[in-house]
Amino acid sequence: MKKFQILVVEDDAPVRNLITTTLRAHDYRFITSGTGEGAVMEVASHNPDIILLDLGLPDIVEVIRRVRSWSNVPIIVISARAEDNDKIDALDAGADDYLTKPFSVEELLARLRVTQRRLALIQNVSNEQ
């Protein structure tokens, strides 16, 4: 079975390290970016399976819109509680799900599993057509 590749977009090194350590321990592949601009380039060049996107970065809703203009890749935004309005904008712009900081490793893995199940469903439907 192919390993899922996750694009981790987060400028805070401790949060990014927590995520990448978790991914490595659970057999995911990953690439990282510390900026929204870099994220758009990574999506274009690496075509990841899922994006974890820090909502605290500047112009992040615009980043989601740009990615959505050519890609259906699932986007999970990572938000702080103070960013509730941004979370709504992010979902409206095309994000699929969100995680609120601080989150546990178990919740992160559960969100990824949910997203992988959705991807598998979409794949099955398109194979049947």
Residue ranges in contact with Ca ion by CB under 5 A: 11-12, 54, 56
Which CB atom, from 33 or from 115, has the smaller least distance to Ca ion? 33
Which CB atom, from 54 or from 83, has the smaller least distance to Ca ion? 54
Which CB atom, from 48 or from 56, has the smaller least distance to Ca ion? 56
Shortest distance, CB of residue 117 to Ca ion, whole angstroms?
27
Residue 98: both structure tokens together: 């969100």
Which CB atom, from 23 or from 55, has the smaller least distance to Ca ion? 55
Shortest distance, CB of residue 12 to Ca ion, whole angstroms?
4
Q: Which of 82, 42, 38, 45 lies closest to 60 in space, CA to CA?
A: 38
Q: Which of 97, 123, 101 lies closest to 110 in space, CA to CA?
A: 97
Shortest distance, CB of residue 80 to Ca ion, whole angstroms?
8
The strand ranges marked E within the chain are 5-9, 29-33, 50-54, 75-79, 97-100
Please give the Cα distance from 57 to 110 (Å, whole number). Answer: 24
Shortest distance, CB of residue 101 to Ca ion, whole angstroms?
9
For residues 92 and 50, the answer to whether their CB atoms sit within 8 Å is no
